Structure formats: C-alpha cells, structure tokens
Copies of this chain bind each other. A is one copy, B any other.
Amino acid sequence: MRFFSDNAASVHPKVMAALAAANGQDTAYDGDALSAQLNGAFSDLFGTDVEAMWVATGTAANSLALAALCQPHQGVICHEEAHIEQDEAGAPGFYTGGAKLMLVQGEGAKVAAETVDRLCAAIRDDVHQVQPAAVSITNASEYGLVYTPDEVAAVSEVCTQRRLGLHMDGARFANAVAMLGCHPADVTWKAGVDVLSFGFVKNGGMGAEALVFFDKDLARETHYRRKRAGHLQSKGRYLAVQILAMLDGDLWLQNARAANHGAQMLAQAAAKRLLYPVEANEVFIKITATEAETLRGAGFDFYDWGEGQARLVTSWNQSAEDIRPLAEAIAAL
C-alpha cells in the first residue's frame, strides 16, 4: 500500500469519465468551449470575479504566479522549506528571470506575518540589496499545517504595508479548506491573496492545475507567459474538463475530506510519534530505522524524512479499510 505521495494515486473515475465524454473536435489551445467555462466556474466557487487558467503542473502554476508578481531584479519571500525553494529545481528563478527567493523560518513550514515584517525591515532600501516584491505561502504547508483565514490576513496586512503581492501555493488547497471548514473565499481573496495555485493533480486529477487570479490585472500578461513557457497545450480542453469535473458537485472537497480522514486515522494511531499536528493529508512521525523496516516489510511504502523521521501521505482514493492496516501496524510498533 502506497503512502509515499498523493501524486502516486490514481485519477478519479469522474475525471476519467469527463475526459472520455469530452473527446471530440473543438478549437485548439484555450479557445474551446470547456476552457471558456473556467472563469465562470471559479468565479462562482470563490464568490468574486476571478480569471482562471489551466496549467499542467503546480510548479508551472507557482512560477507563473511569481513571475506575474515579481520583476527579475526583485525577490519573493517564502519559507526555507517551501516547495518553490526545495523541490522545483529552481523553476521560480527560471520563470522570473533570476529573481531571488528570500528565505524565512517558521514552525511547520508556515510563514508568520511578523517574520515577513522583520525580514523586510532588515533589508536596506538601496540598489545593492534585492528588494522583495511578493510573499508566497503554502496552504496546507509542506508539513501539512493549515493557515487559518486570520493567519493569511495577518501576512496580507504586512504585504499591503510593504507593497508586496501575495501568492498562495495551494497544491493541497483542497485539504486545507476541507480541514478549515470555511468558504474557500475566506482563506484566499477575502484574506488578501492575489493569486492562488489551486492543485487538483494530487487530489484526483490527471494533469491539470488551476491558476486563479483574484487580482485580474496579473492575469493579462500571464497568458503570454504561459504560452512562452510551452504550457499552452494545444488540446487544452482536456485540461479544462478535468478541472470542471473536480469542481462539479465539490468533488475536490469530497476527495480532500477522504484523504484528510485517512490522515487522522494515522494520526491517532501514531499520536505519540507526531512531529507536527496533522491538519491535512500528511503525517510526519518519529520512527526508528528498525521500525521503518518493519512497516516496509509489511508492504507499506513511505518517504524517509531525514534520520529517524518519516512522511506518510494519504490519498483521496484510500478508504478507512485501506488505511486501517497501516494504522494498526504503527500502533503495534
């Protein structure tokens, strides 16, 4: 059983069905009838007028968002363990034309408003130092922690004072909203987010994420940048339809709730081992090499997270029955 990554999970049957149903002729690129529905669908979901576009990957979504917020000679403030810093092969540097990621620390890979403010205050306002232009936060964070609307708003307040844009990497946005139980607007534009990378691939999609611009001015040039990055797929309708299927009937929320529920089962079983509170679908635990071997021997697959630590990720397609064996195996260690 795989707890290695939610990227390893299958595609939701409704997404597969939508792809099959969409197979036919239509205008290329994003000139088709399905792509045309995205702005409306996301505007409805968020209760405000947004501009949305599909891209194949979270890395592309994040990087396009940062390029829209930040000139090449500027910087983006993010957590030192953020995905954009650690796991995207320097994509933000590529897309922004060499802008600098300005790293801050924070418990559980979360960025606190005060930390952003302190970093900004320490930067000399001269041409020798890179000046920040944006902040990027990840919700849920790399350690599966969730920003509340108030926490996002606090960061946003600093952004406003410091004239910084605010990007949210929402690779696991669905899991965050599912946990918060709030309206998706509350933790995004109502809290000051300018642009959101809204992830679907880890949550049942195949190869389509959405870039949602609450600040629509940022979207205009991004259309050019997406094409220039080779991300304007010629049969874009097959990306649009995946996203529409995920939005339909709140499938994105249902899937996230399922994954979160699995994580909670593991969290209970591993209560004394937890490195972080479990708020989304990731469980970080203390575990000895011998114990890890035991679990792997029993057929459970997961990621070592440095010495004596492991990461377990649950997925939308894992039922309570799927999770239980691992929960019991952990409890039995």
Segment at the interface with B among A149-157, A159-167, A233-241, A271-279: A233-241
Contact call A4/B19, Cβ cutoff below 8 A: no
A interface, size bucket: 35 or more
Residues of B within 8 A of A228 (CB): 73, 88-91, 94
B231–A57 contact, CB under 8 A?
yes
Interface membership of A2, Cβ < 8 A: yes
Neighbouring B residues of A221 by C-beta, 8 Å: 71, 73
Select from chain B the residue with minimum beta-carbon distance to A201.
B234
Query: How many copies are assembled?
Result: 4
CB distance from A11 to the nearest CB of B (A): 5
| Contact (Cβ within 8 A) B57 A90 | no
Asked, given contacts A127-B232, A229-B229, A230-B229, whether A93 binds B99 with beta carbons under 8 Å apart, the answer is yes
Q: Which of A191-247 contact B (CB under 8 A)?
A: 201-202, 206-207, 221, 223-235, 238-239
Q: A241 to chain B: closest CB distance in Å?
A: 11
Known contacts A19-B19, A201-B234; decide if A226 and B127 are in contact (CB<8 Å). Answer: yes
A98 within 8 A of B: yes
Cross-interface CB contact of A87 among B94, B97, B128, cutoff 8 Å:
B128
Residues of A within 8 A of B (CB): 2, 4-5, 7-11, 16, 19-20, 23-29, 55-61, 63, 71-75, 86-91, 93-101, 127-131, 201-202, 206-207, 221, 223-235, 238-239
